[in-house]
Amino acid sequence: MTETIPQQRARVATAFRAAFPGAGGPAVVAVAPGRVNLIGEHTDYNDGFVMPLAIDRQALVHGVGRDDLTVRFRSTAFPGTAAFDLGSRPTRGEPAWSNYLRGALAAALDAGLPARGFDAIIDCSVPAGGGLSSSAAIEVATITLLEGLTGRTLDPADKARAAQAAEHEFAGVPCGIMDQLISATGREGHALLIDCRDTTAKPVPLDDPALAVLILNSNQSHALADGAYAQRRASCEAAAEVLGVSALRDADAEAVRAAADAGELTGETHRRARHVVTENRRCQLAAEALLARDYGEAGRLMGESHASLRDDYEVSTRELDTLVELADHARHEGRGVYGSRMTGGGFGGCTVTLVKAAEAEALAEEISTGYRGATGVEATAFITRPCEGARVLA
Ligand code: GAF
């Protein structure tokens, strides 16, 4: 069972009292969710389209303001206390886990939030390394805490940009804006079709009780800071330059094909560009299909997306492919699967599968069993629903 926010809140309040026995004053509790992306992968940093939803797993931070500018931060998951002064811009430091928080606070100050000292403890129910944006949830929750403690707020898109800047500067991952934006702006009962060029979003209802979003974690931890993600970005930029556009968002499949035929786009760069331009199109078509409640078509596009990420973008793994193939097998047999794909940056992490709600539990069990048989690894399955983005709890 997924822990509810009230349960998590109570658990973290107890942990806070144990960590900071002397801290008095009213507490501010901020939450920010992780995300799962339905389709539109590796398109955000190409100014393209994505369609994520905020999930019912979140970072929750419990903080109490201080009269000085000292910050003392603890974690429910890791040892140590991060202690620093917000009188100046935070820098990287110890313990290592605190760099997400330090980065988020540094970027929040840059974005114009005032400084205020506090004692806080953070907890995150988004699985770490699962490709469900636990780091974005932690960054956005931290900035939301500072908003709650200072009574000042950032525009949600600016908050997302600040969290993204933290990821770039303090975690060394040159990510796009998707994860932080959906964590900051998620809408209950909806996925968001986001145009990453201007951050405008169109809500896409996903509240049909007959439909469920099934997440399967390959439990093969993913890491994006090792250079493979940055290499993909660089290939996209090189392709855009060849095509004479500022970002691949402005190119289409015809233009990519023509450049390949002319020998201007070759090999890996060609395949990376082909993924991005076709994925942008698939993402928009999938939003139309979901709006029309045509789940079969949305699922078909998810299948194409996975193939493109596997073959052209080369960010899938044998384990993710296995999970998708098992879901696909159930789809062919008419057992309630609409479509399945890897989700997030790749190189490990999770798949997302659109299924009939009535079949979801049985499918989770069946795919997990098949996965164990094929890989020897235990998958973790959970059914999620679209949730609200970051906020201070009442
Ligand atoms: C990671 C990044 F953080 C996102 O910005 C996005 O590029 C995603 O990979 C791939 O779609 O989650």
- How does residue 222 score in pLDDT terms, banded at 50, 70 and 90? low
Q: What is the model's pLDDT at position 313?
A: 98
Distance of alpha carbon 175 from the chain centroid: 10
In angstroms, the CA 323 to CA 306 distance is 11
Show Cβ contacts of residue 55 under 8 Å, excluding neighbours closer than 6 positions.
Answer: 33, 34, 35, 36, 126, 132, 215, 384, 385, 386, 387
Instruction: Report the separation in Å between the CA atom of 299 and the middle of ligand 1, taken as the mean of its atom positions.
Output: 21
Q: Is 179 a catalytic residue?
A: yes
Domains of the chain: 5-202+388-392 (3.30.230.10), 207-384 (3.30.70.890)
Average pLDDT estimate for 159-167 = 98
With contact defined as beta carbons under 8 Å apart, do 347 and 315 qualify?
yes
The secondary structure of residue 244, as a DSSP letter, is T
In angstroms, the CA 181 to CA 191 distance is 12
CA 382 vs CA 3, 18, 56, 247, 296: distances in Å: 12, 31, 10, 36, 21
In angstroms, the CA 394 to CA 383 distance is 26
Express each pLDDT in 250-275 by its tens digit.
999 999 999 999 999 999 999 999 99
Ligand 1 site residues (CB inside 6 A) read 41-42, 44-45, 175-176, 178-179, 344-345
Express each pLDDT in 17-72 by its tens digit.
999 998 888 999 999 999 999 999 999 999 999 999 999 999 999 999 999 999 99
Residue of 128, 279, 297 lying closest to 196 (CA atoms): 279
Q: What is the model's pLDDT at position 28?
A: 98
DSSP readout, 312-337?
TS----HHHHHHHHHHHHHHHTTSSE
Instruction: Identify which of 37, 44, 236, 309 to mutate to test ligand 1's pocket (most ligand atoms within 8 A of the CB).
Output: 44
Average pLDDT estimate for 99-118 = 98
Average pLDDT, the chain: 97
Instruction: Report the separation in Å between the CA atom of 178 and the middle of ligand 1, taken as the mean of its atom positions.
Output: 7
Show Cβ contacts of residue 314 under 8 Å, excluding neighbours closer than 6 positions.
Answer: 271
Question: Phi then psi for 58, rounded to 5 degrees?
Answer: -150, 160
In angstroms, the CA 233 to CA 176 distance is 10
